[in-house]
Chain A
Amino acid sequence: MILRQIWAVYKRELGLYFRSPIAYAVAFALLLLFGLIFSSNVSQLNNRAPADNLNFIPSLLTFLMFLVGPLMTMRLLAEENREGTIELLMTLPMSETAFIVGKFFAVWTYYSVVLGLTLVYYLVLTTIGVPDHGRALGVYLGAWLYGGTVLAVTMIWSAITEDQIVAAFLGAATVLVLYLADLAAQFVNNLSFTENPEFITGLANGIRELGLTAHYNSTMFVGVIRAEDIAYFIFMIIAALFITTRIVETRRWRA
């Protein structure tokens, strides 16, 4: 029953992505940008530079996710809030969880398609050199999980507000905070000359581990696939979806 409901919500949302011009506009802009960067890099290649330096394309996508992610998710729940369609949905025999999970998988699928399109560059690479397939696997797996996490986190804001622009801005800010957690950790670490250095170092590590970059840029991006990184992304997705579900539930109580 719950699977059927998730499937129904998923199907509708995914259909919307592929019927709406925004989805194509986002994909077009991204691929245009990547194409330009890729071709300029290929043209500068010489036989000393290893071809898999070009793995930066998917990781460029993960960086841009602080902008693109909120654009992908802002509509998901804010629109239902504004149009009032949520009122009807919440009087159907469906749990909030099915609704949220269906929506999330739809946007994650859309992201996966965009990410999949960047494989084109990788295919081009295989014709001009021998890229490291193992590393590419890590890069793509990481980019996929990273994207899912960003989407789940930005979806929280879409549940809170009726205004898509507000959802997008707050989403972008949140992702930036997670992205820059590394910098914050470094800053905190520089305070370790104070009276309690162990505590400060621990705090810095904690902050670092909460951020997105610690689990991607220095691990999966160089081809190191660690269980804890995968666990981090999955945990973040589940936690964000849980929070979103709770928020949708409280709307009923506050309404």
Chain B
Amino acid sequence: MIEVRNLVKKYGEVTAVRGISFDAKPGQVTGFLGPNGAGKTTTMRMLTGFMPPTSGKATVAGYDVFEQSMEVRKRVGYLPESVPLYRDMTARNYLMYMGEIRGLKNVRAKADDVLERVGLTRRAQSRIRTLSKGMRQRVGLAQALLHDPQVLILDEPTIGLDPIQVLEIRDVVRQLGRDHTLLFSTHILSEAEQVCDNLVIINQGQIVAEGSPAQLRAELERGGRVLVRAEGPVEQMIAAVSAIPTVAHAEAAVEGVVVTPRDANVDPRPEIAQVVVQNGWRLVELRPLAVNLEEIFLELTRQVAPAAEEASERADADGGEGGDEAGEGAREDGAREDGAREDGAREDGAREDGAREREDEEAKS
């Protein structure tokens, strides 16, 4: 159980975390999602007792992270983002060392046990420097599991791994989530969507959305936009569809025509079908556009411009549509224009991973 209330962390002038509150419940994987530099690692470091919060309160397994730091540390398994290991030790010796520092008994047996759980028994005697990145990640994970903690905090455990290793680690995370309180950070959306029971999206040190992936999607699906694919002249089709009374707007996209209804609760699809058929065009596809988490994410975190806190506030004042900078505008378009969503994802260089992940998934499905 992790409870965070109004947690703030300032580094001198810079405020990395601005009063966030959330809960992570036992038996669930809570995803901590946000672009790089959003404050994920800082929050996790506060929860593990590595650094104290500037203000606010957080309890882990019922103990205050600042007042009862030692009690928290006994009950938390932590995998830092950089997976710091002693390269000159063997995997088993490293785990035994960590176990001894934790004051565990039978460290040898415990080390072998966790090595088996992460599938590294065969490499127990190898020096850590000879292990691959994925194996090191697993040694780090084994270290976090060593003392059978109630709470696991994993900071971007899949970063820098190859796709197979990513899948393996995700499986492990899902399994561990069943009997632990698991907080897991990532900047990869599809990953969060697959693995997490509950998502906390953080941007610029603030929580911008919270809920299960399904909830978040349902909330943002209310736009009710529809994709029309038909064989016919696009210009005429847009004109014809725009003329329907329930339709607010229609525009061309890569896959077809994206139609935005006037009222999200009134489905324009019957009329669209009628119009298309009446014009003699052959209807290929007519479906509501599923909003995926990536769009939600882009929507929620689009004012990321590093030093542009003011700019983002100004943009908010202008009705959220401001986006003075060209980049901002382009990204907004990318996010909104659904047919061209891949372009949108690609435009945002920082989320390459997300885009690649999505492409993978699309290829699969």
- List the interface of chain A (C-beta within 8 A of B): 1, 4-5, 7-9, 12, 16, 19, 83-94, 252-253, 255
Contacts and interface: CB of A to CB of B under 8 A. Distances in A.
A12 B97 contact: yes
Interface string B213-234: 0000000000000000000000
Interface string B65-93: 00000100110101010101111110000
Contacts, number: 65
Interface in B116-131: none
B363 interface: no
Interface stretch (B44-52, B188-196, B287-295, B326-334): B44-52
Nearest to B70: A93
A1 B103 CA distance: 7
Given A4-B100, A92-B98, A85 B84 contact: yes
Considering residues B50, B52, B80, B101, which has the most beta carbons from chain A within 10 angstroms of its beta carbon? B101
A85 B85 contact: yes
A91 B102 CA distance: 10
6 contacts: A4-B103, A90-B49, A91-B78, A93-B70, A93-B103, A252-B52
Contacts of A252: 50-52
A16 B88 CA distance: 9
A90 B50 contact: yes
Contact of A92 (B52, B84, B89, B102): B102
Nearest to B69: A93
A124 B45 CA distance: 58
B312 interface: no
A94 B84 contact: no
Q: Identify the interface centre among B74, B78, B84, B85: most chain A CB within 10 Å of its CB.
A: B84
A91 B50 contact: yes
Nearest to A93: B73
A85 B86 contact: yes
A91 B84 contact: no
Contacts of B98: 88, 92
Nearest to A87: B80
A86 B70 CA distance: 16
A173 B74 CA distance: 41
A8 B102 CA distance: 10
Contact of A88 (B51, B88, B143): B143
Contacts of A90: 49-50
Interface residues of B, number: 26
Given A88-B143, A255-B45, A93 B102 contact: yes
Contacts of B49: 90-91
B335 to A, nearest CB: 34
Contacts of A89: 101
B73 A88 contact: no
Contacts of B70: 93
Contacts of B74: 93
A84 B73 contact: no
B84 A88 contact: yes
Contacts of A255: 45, 50-51
Contacts of B52: 252-253
Given A91-B48, A253-B51, A255-B50, A84 B100 contact: no
Nearest to B89: A12
The 10 closest A-B pairs by CB, nearest first: A8-B100, A84-B84, A85-B84, A93-B73, A91-B48, A84-B82, A93-B74, A91-B50, A91-B78, A93-B70
A83 B82 CA distance: 9
A89 B49 CA distance: 11
A92 B80 contact: no
A91 B73 contact: yes
Nearest to B71: A93
B183 to A, nearest CB: 14
A249 B50 CA distance: 10
Contacts of B143: 88
Contacts of A83: 84, 86-87
Given A5-B101, A91-B80, 5 more contacts: A84-B80, A87-B80, A87-B84, A90-B49, A92-B101
Contacts of A8: 97, 100-101
Contacts of A253: 51-52
A8 B101 CA distance: 6
B125 to A, nearest CB: 15
A92 B103 CA distance: 10
Contacts of B101: 5, 8-9, 89, 92, 94
B50 A5 contact: no
Nearest to A102: B101
Nearest to A20: B88
User: Which of the listed residues A8, A16, A253 has the most CB atoms from chain B within 10 Å of its own CB?
Assistant: A8
A88 B78 contact: yes
Contacts of B51: 252-253, 255
A87 B100 contact: no
Contacts of A86: 84
B94 to A, nearest CB: 9
A117 B224 CA distance: 83
Nearest to A79: B86
Contacts of A19: 88
A5 to B, nearest CB: 5
Contacts of A88: 78, 80, 84, 98, 143
Most buried by A among B80, B89, B103: B103
A89 B94 CA distance: 12
Nearest to B47: A91
Contacts of B88: 16, 19
B73 A5 contact: no
Contacts of A84: 80, 82, 84
